[in-house]
Amino acid sequence: MTSRPPGGTIAIAGKTVSRLGFGTMRLTGPGTWGDPDDRGTALSVLRQAVHTHGISHIDTADAYGPHTVEHLIHDALYPYPEHVLLATKVGFLRPAPGQWKPLGDPFYLRACVEASLRRLKVEQLELCYLHRIDPEVARDDQIAVMHALQDEGKVGHLGLSKVTFNDVHYVLKHGGPPVAAVQNALNCTDRDDDAVVQLCATLNIPYVAYRPLNAGALAQAHGPGKPLHWLLAQSEHIAPIPGTSRPQHLDEIVAAVQNRPD
């Protein structure tokens, strides 16, 4: 294991975890659909992230596969180390490969949480994001069912994914549950989220940056170091979650972050 957590540490959902997380979306087949070509390699990458590199923030979603990656996480890491934070997301239908449809019906969200509990074999989802706020369902109803699941002990902390300043402000202003993390796309070529970044900084909400390497495009020329260093330098409350399906690429990502200039 690396001597220090990659990227330093950050407090998310009641745990102190590595600032560099691991996004698991790529551990599926094409179109984020079905099983990976090599299941053994996918399991190895998950173990490598946690046990070799000391990454303690693992991000997933029931929509990845769908369901594939939650099963992989269980098979690779169960029983889960106490210091590891497993974050999952609910609220997407997957009609076919490459297709995503938000569904915020409260009954569906509840069913998703119950199913994720079974797949991960846990009694509580430590951090569960509303993967998208469904514009066709009352926002209050979507937040209310997540709050109810918290009250029942099935969700520990609530996160919001791909949200605007107004979305976050609305949830907080209208008596919703505390927001433990916000997850939006952010990288050195996709910087148009200043309002949410600043709101999270003001309210001490961790900002989890997905697509930090823009699906690998930003690392093609000179490797992952420059784009990840740019993100980590923006603010201490920003935690990037790059993903990969290749062990050697994960080695490169962690090495680049560990070699970050102070």
Strand-pairing partners, residue 183, are 161, 208
10 Å CB burial of residue 110 (0-12, 13-18, 19+) is middle
Gap between the Cα atoms of 20 and 9, Å rounded: 8
- The amino acid sitting at 72 is L
Gap between the Cα atoms of 122 and 216, Å rounded: 32
* Three-state secondary-structure class, residue 137: coil
Q: For this structure, is 64 an active site residue?
A: yes
Query: What b/e sequence results for 204-225 when a residue is b if at least 16 CB atoms lie within 10 Å of its CB, and e otherwise?
Result: ebbbbbbbbbeeeebbeeeebb
Q: Which of 64, 80, 108, 129 is catalytic?
A: 64
Please count the other Cβ atoms lying within 10 Å of the Cβ belonging to residue 73: 26
* Three-state secondary-structure class, residue 158: strand
Question: Which residues are catalytic, by number?
Answer: 64
